[in-house]
Amino acid sequence: MAEINLKRVDEIIEGYKGEEGVLIQLLLDIQNEFNWISPEAIARISEQMRIPKSQIYRIASFYKAMSLKPVGRHIIHVCMGTACQVRGAPKILDRIEENLKIKEGETTSDMRFSLKRVNCLGCCAMGPVILVDGTYHGKITSAMVESILGQYE
């Protein structure tokens, strides 16, 4: 799992010390820098800002912009809708899992990719489809997987 550098968390907290009502901004800073908010980070904020953990967690679990699980810099959605299934989506998923050495729902240890499956991306004619961040890649084959992933740092 992607560890969050707690020294860096301390630095971020330091920048907000003594100010009121900064929790949301502080959490967003941590989210932006690490792409998620770990239990350790919450414990640290709780200790340093003297805010109970459950209150921090309440906020972090409320805002869509915050993630309580590690999320990679790029998110791959593999369409598993019926049309894509028929056209070989399972093979594509296998290949991506093999390539990134993670399973669906997981994140690579270098935080580069998170892998998710979805039901029908609404462009069945292009199947099989994967969506990386905002970009649709359609009519792909397993052989194309590596070069597509290569486009994302």
Partner 1 sequence: MKLEIDDKTVEIEAGNTLLAAARSIGIDIPTLCYHPALEPFGACRLCSVEIEKRGRTKVVTACNYPVEDGLIVRTNTPDIIEIRKLLLELLLARCPDEGRIQSLASEYGVSKPRFQIEDEHCILCGLCTRVCEELVGVSAINVISRGVEREVGAPYNELSDDCIGCGACALVCPTDAIRLEKNIYPTTAEDIQEIEGKFLEGERDEVLGVFSDLVAGKASTGGQDGGMVTALLISGMKNNLFDAALVVRRVEGYNAEAVVVEDEQGILSARGTKYLRVPMMSKLEAALKAGKRRIAVVGTPCEVKAVRKLQQQRDLEREYPGIELTILGLFCLESFDYDGLKADMSSRFDVELDKADKTQISKGKYIVTAGGKDYSCDVRDMEAIVREGCPYCGDFVSQLADISIGSVGSPDDCSTVIVRSKAGKKLLDAAEFVSAEVDKKQIVKLAKLKKRNADRNLATILDGVQ
- Going by their DSSP bridges, the two strands 135-137 and 74-79 should be labelled as unpaired
CB-wise, 53 or 139, nearer to partner 1?
53
- Residue 45 CB partners (closer than 8 Å, separation 6+): 9, 13, 23, 26, 27, 51, 56
* By the rule CB under 8 A, 54 interacts with partner 1: yes
Do residues 92 and 121 touch, judged by C-beta distance below 8 A?
no
Residues 17-46 as x/- pattern, contact with partner 1 by CB under 8 A: ----------------------x--x----
Instruction: Considering only residues 56 through 95, tell me which ones interact with ligand FES, judged by CB under 6 A.
Output: 79, 81-84
Interface ranges with ligand FES (CB under 6 A)? 79, 81-84, 120-124, 127, 129
